[in-house]
Amino acid sequence: MNSVNSAILSPTIGWTILAIFSVIWVFLGWFWGRKAQELDEYVLAGRKVGIALGTATAMATWVTSNTTMTAPELAYRMGVWGMLGYSLGSVGLLLFAPLARRIRRLMPFGYTSGDFVRLRYGRTAWYVFLVISLVYGLGWLVSMGMAGGKLINALTGIEYLYGMSVILVICVGYTLLGGFRAVIGTDFIQAILILTGLVVIAVLAIDKIGFDQIHESVTRERPELLNLLMPAAIMFLFNNLLFGVGEIFHSNVWWSRAFAFREDVGFKAYFTAGIFWAPIPIVAGFIALAAPAMDVNVPAADMVGPLVSSEILGVTGAVLVLIMVFSALSSSLDSLLAATSILLVEDIYRRHLRPKAAPGELRSATRWTILGLGILTWIVSALQLGTLAQVLHFTGAFVASTIWPIAAGLFWRRTNPVGAVLAMALGSLAGIIAYHVIGFYVAALTGAAVSMVIVLVSTWLWPRDYDWDTLCEAHPGEESAA
């Protein structure tokens, strides 16, 4: 199908919107980052982020292009349970709230989730964890880069390579200029844009068509979508829940925010973000359920959201969707670039190559790493290696196996390194086997279950008395001077 002819908006409108937002984001990145000369200012916004920006950045980062585009698709395929299942992704944010408070308290000078695993469990666990974390981080980056190109192409007809390049250049540009302040500042604006756009489209759908007509049309044309006992959707629900918890518990995207928030903010910010995020897939999914009532021709399920929006609001609706999708992509891409770069700099560059590196050198290394990651993502996304996008689905087993070692390691003094290593390694292995033997919907479930049993049994059989003060590591400035 010719994407230029099938696109909802013209390429001219698409380019205009991209240009306007590019200028705004890059200017704000420069403006907010111009005084961030210190390492902590640049990579963690000075560790003083308040509740408003904290809540918005946690929420906006978790709203990926998947939330705005896949939630309607899931509702269109799996019905009510698809909406509710996706909504359970918020459980990860809610459960991370107490962890964020404890992370900030135990590690006031920490930089990465890798720091925690190294200090808590030692080098073997650290290496296993780094492999899981970096594969996941790079997989997510590439999948977001590719999603950017594909979505911009589907919505505006702009060629995949151009759309993907534009969104990557913009995100790398403002993250490079402004560091973490640019990330969380733009995240706030992006959160407001996503939420407002969603409410406008949903309210207009209800006003124009009404619940009764939407329900009647779905009952007549797609009754299976209203089935509350749809087995595939219930399986998806549990797997999605555990996948989300694993993603958030281990990823430096969420740990770096815990380090960056003020000490009393972490719990409140993550908890509020979870409450605000939970209804988004339901509202976005509901928009898709309006498709049968509107007689919208849906050639591909993943385009149902934009198609219904443009049917309700015409060009304005399609422009709103493009802005929402662009905001969702940017808020995730910038966070990934920032969090993955500091993970590479702190855990690989500093801890393996330059242990005496001064804060200024680490700041410079972070900037080069952001640029390098952007280039790497562009190359892999340009090649459109579909298999790499599939890696992200595959990582469900890996990330879910980190849930217990992370949570138990933060709260239980007696959890030991051998148990943590075995939990991550065997949990991942069991998850992969389940992925191939049974299906994708049990990979995270199996990985988390095996990991849980190993952590519980090993903690019970071989308890260790860990000293929490070990986690309070010195700042790099003090370490390099020593």
Where does this chain bind another protein (CB under 8 A)?
45-46, 48-53, 55-56, 59, 79-80, 87, 181, 184, 188, 191-192, 195-196, 198-199, 202-203, 206, 211-212, 214-216, 219, 223, 226-229, 262, 272, 275-276, 278-280, 282-283, 286, 289
Cβ contact 326:167 at 8 Å? yes
How many CA atoms does the CB half-sphere of 26 hold within 13 Å?
Answer: 13
Q: Nearest distance from residue 200's CB to another protein, in Å?
A: 10
Nearest to 62 by CA among 302, 321, 278: 278
Contacts of 102 (CB under 8 A, 6+ apart): 410, 411
Q: Nearest distance from residue 49's CB to another protein, in Å?
A: 5
Q: Nearest distance from residue 342's CB to another protein, in Å?
A: 17
Cα 358–Cα 363–Cα 369 angle in degrees, nearest 5? 125
The per-residue b/e assignment along 409-424, b for 16 or more CB within 10 angstroms, e otherwise, is bbebeebbbbbbbbbb
Nearer to another protein among residue 166 and residue 289 (C-beta): 289
- Number of other CB atoms surrounding residue 47 within 10 Å: 18
Q: Nearest distance from residue 269's CB to another protein, in Å?
A: 10
Nearer to another protein among residue 128 and residue 273 (C-beta): 273
Burial class (CB in 10 A: 0-12, 13-18, 19+), 200: middle
d(CA 153, CA 5): 11
Nearer to another protein among residue 225 and residue 443 (C-beta): 225
Nearer to another protein among residue 92 and residue 197 (C-beta): 197
Nearer to another protein among residue 275 and residue 300 (C-beta): 275
Structure tokens at 323: 């802005």
Q: How many residues does the chain have?
A: 482
Q: Nearest distance from residue 253's CB to another protein, in Å?
A: 18
Nearer to another protein among residue 83 and residue 406 (C-beta): 83
Instruction: Give the CA radius of gyration of the chain.
Output: 22
Q: Nearest distance from residue 209's CB to another protein, in Å?
A: 12
Q: Nearest distance from residue 229's CB to another protein, in Å?
A: 6
Nearer to another protein among residue 279 and residue 477 (C-beta): 279
